[in-house]
Structure 1
Amino acid sequence: MDTTDMTPTATRTPAHDSSPGRASHPTRATSPGDRPSPRLPAWTRVLLATALFLPVALIGVLLYLIPGFLDLMSGDGVTVVLAYAMTAGVILAGYLLVSWALTRFVDRRPARALGWRLDGRALLALVAGYAITQAVSLLGTGTALVTGLVEPMTGLPDLPELTAGAIMTALAITLLRSFVLQGIGEEVLFRGYVLQSLSRRPILAVAITAAAFTLPHLASSGGQQNLLERVLFLAVPFGFSFSAGFLAIAMRSVWAAVGIHGGFHLATAVTTLLLPPTDGPVLWVLLGAMHVVVGVVIAVAVPDSRWSEVREHGPYAARSAATAPRSAVAPEVASPRW
C-alpha cells in the first residue's frame, strides 16, 4: 500500500490530497487512514461488480468459435484437460482484469488492495479455507444422512471401470473447475474488489458482498426442480460467501476465500466419494447455515483492533501498514466493526 495511504487523517496536509489518483478537493477528503474516495457511490460499485459477474463467466465461449475447439472439448485424456484449462484460463483472466480495473480506476487503489499476493500466508489461507469447507461438507452431509433428513440417491448408473488415466483426467478437471474456472476469479472480484471497496463498514461489507455474489446464482443449474428450490439453493453460495469473507479478513488474504469457495466444489466431490451420494433442498439449507455459523464464529474471534485496521487500510493491507502509529482520529473512526 502506498505510504500516503497510511498517513493518519489528522496529520495530513492539503498538499498530499492533490497527488495523482487522489481526491483534490476538501469535500472529497477521505476518512479512516485517508484512503482515496472511490469515484462511484457504494451501491453503484456493488451493482457494477454483480452485473459483470455472469458476462465474464461466459467469455470462455469465445474459444468455441475457433474451428475444431469443440472437438477438443469432447475428447478425452490430455486433450480435454488442455481444452478445459484454456477455457478456464480465459475466464480467470477476465475476472482478474475486471477486478484490477475496478480497483485501479474506480476505487483508485493499487492492485495489491485485492489481497491476491502469492506468498506463505496465501498458501496457509488457501489450505485453511479448504479444510473448513471440507469439514462442513463431511459433517453436514454425514449428519443429514444419519438423522434421516436426506436419503441417499438411488437409481444411479454404475460407474465404468476407471483407469489411472481416467482418474487423473477427472481429478484435473475437478481442480480446474473448482479453482481456475470459479474459485480464484470470482473471489478476487467479490471478496477481493467488492469487500475492500466497502470495508469502511467491514461486517456489513461481508454481508453485502455475500448477497451480491448470491443473487446471480438464481440462474445456476444445481438440480433445482421449481422456483422454491431455486431460492433454497441460494443458501449454499450465500453461506460459503459469508464464511469466506470473514476468513479472508481474519487471515489478511483473499486466498482464504478462494480456499472456501473453490474448496467447496472440491469438497463436494470428495464427500461424494466418502459418503453415499445425496443432494436436495434440505442439504443445501443445512450446509449454507453451517457456513454462516462458521462465519459468525470467525467474526467473533477477530479482535476489535483488527476491525479498526480493516476500516482504515482495507482488509488486505500489509501488517506493517495496518499497525503503523496513528494520531487521534474522529470518534466515528474508532467504531470497530459496523
Structure 2
Amino acid sequence: MNTSQVENSSRRFKPWIRALILFLVYEFLTIGLAFLINSLFSPQTELQINIVRAVMCLIYTLSILLLLKVVDRKPISYLKLQVNKKGLIGFIVGTIITGLVVVGAAFLAPLIFKEQLAVPDDRGWNMFFSAFMAAYVLQGFPEELAYRGYLNQTLEKKPIPTILISALLFMAMHWNHFFTYQGILAFFEFTYPFAFGLLAGVLLYWTGSTWAAVAVHGGIHIFDTITDNFGMLNGSYRTLLTSFLMILVSVIIILKNPEKFR
C-alpha cells in the first residue's frame, strides 16, 4: 500500500460525501446562528455588531477544524494557512490582483455601459473598520477556510476539477441571492460568487497558500467599499464586468503556469 492509499484509508467517507457534509454544516451554521442572534438580541452599535462577527468567525473556524480532525483525520497544516513568507506573499498577490480587478471594473463599467456614477456612500470612511470586519473576519477567513482550504485537501482530485467543484459549491451556498435581488441582477449576483471562487481557487494553487484566497474574498468587499466611497458605479453591469475579469484573470494564470495545475 503506497502513501496515497494510506492517507485515503485514514479518512472517513468518500470525497463527495465529505464535501456535502461541509456544505450542510456551513449552511446550518449560517442559518442557525443568524436565527439565534436575531432571537436573543439585535446588535445595535458597531461594537456589538463586530463582536458578533468575531464570535461567528470563531464558531465557523472551530467547526471546520473539527471536520478536518474527525472526518478527514488530517493535521491543520493541510489547510495551507501557515503564517510564513509563502502565506504573506499569497495574501499580497491576492490583494493586488483583486484590487486591480474590482477597481478596474468600477472604472470601466460607466465607460462601457454609459451609466452615470453613483452618489458617494454617505457613511464615509468611518465605517471602513466595520467593512474590514465583515470582509475578512465574518466572510473572507471562515468561508475560504471552508471552501478553499478544506475542500482543496478533501476532494482528492486534480487542481482544475477541485477549483471548479469548490467554486460551484460556493455559488450554491449563495442561493439566497435569488430572493434578495430582482431580475437579471439576481442571476449576476448568483454567478458572482462562482467567479471569485474560481479566482480564489486558482490563486491558492498558484501561490500555494490559502491566504491568497482569503485576500481575494476579503479584498472584493474592501475594494467595493473603497469604490463606493468614491461614488463609482455599483450595479448589475459592474457585477457582470467584475465576474468576467475574475474569470479572465483565472484563465490567464492557468495558461501561463500549467505546471501548477496538472
Same fold (TM over 0.5): yes
Return the offset for 1:64: 5.1
Equivalent residues of 1:89, 1:181 under 8 A apart: yes
Partner of 1:301: 256
Q: Residue deviations 1:28-64, cap 9 Å, x none? A: xx44xx5334322222222222222232234255455
Matching residue within 155, 171, 178 for 1:198: 155
Measured in 1, the distance between the counterparts of 2:142 and 2:26 equals 10
- The AA in structure 2 aligned to 1:152 is L
Pair 194,108 (structure 1): closer, same or farther in 2 beyond 3 Å: same
**Which range moves more in the overlay, 269-278 or 171-180?**
269-278
**Which range moves more in the overlay, 47-56 or 57-66?**
57-66
Measured in 2, the distance between the counterparts of 1:245 and 1:85 equals 28
**Normalised TM-score (structure 1):** 0.70
Structure showing greater Rg:
1
Partner of 1:263: 219
- The AA in structure 2 aligned to 1:295 is S
Partner of 2:199: 243
Measured in 2, the distance between the counterparts of 1:217 and 1:204 equals 20
> Is 1:94 matched with 2:59?
yes
Partner of 1:133: 98
Measured in 1, the distance between the counterparts of 2:102 and 2:179 equals 16
Measured in 2, the distance between the counterparts of 1:222 and 1:150 equals 25
Matching residue within 244, 247, 250 for 1:292: 247
Unaligned 5+ segments in structure 1 are 1-7, 13-29, 308-336
Pair 241,222 (structure 1): closer, same or farther in 2 beyond 3 Å: farther
Return the offset for 1:65: 5.5
Measured in 1, the distance between the counterparts of 2:140 and 2:178 equals 17
**Which range moves more in the overlay, 247-256 or 143-152?**
143-152
- The AA in structure 2 aligned to 1:203 is I
Equivalent residues of 2:140, 2:217 under 8 A apart: yes
Which structure dedicates a bigger proportion of its chain to helix? 2
- Aligned length, in residue pairs: 260
- The percent of aligned pairs where both chains have the same amino acid is 25
Q: Residue deviations 1:2-27, cap 9 Å, x none? A: xxxxxx93xx6xxxxxxxxxxxxxxx
Partner of 1:50: 23
Partner of 1:104: 69
Partner of 1:217: 174
CA-based RMSD of the aligned residues comes to 2.5
**Normalised TM-score (structure 2):** 0.88
Equivalent residues of 1:60, 1:87 under 8 A apart: no
Pair 157,143 (structure 1): closer, same or farther in 2 beyond 3 Å: closer
Partner of 2:79: 114
Classify the secondary structure of the residue corresponding to 1:278. Answer: coil
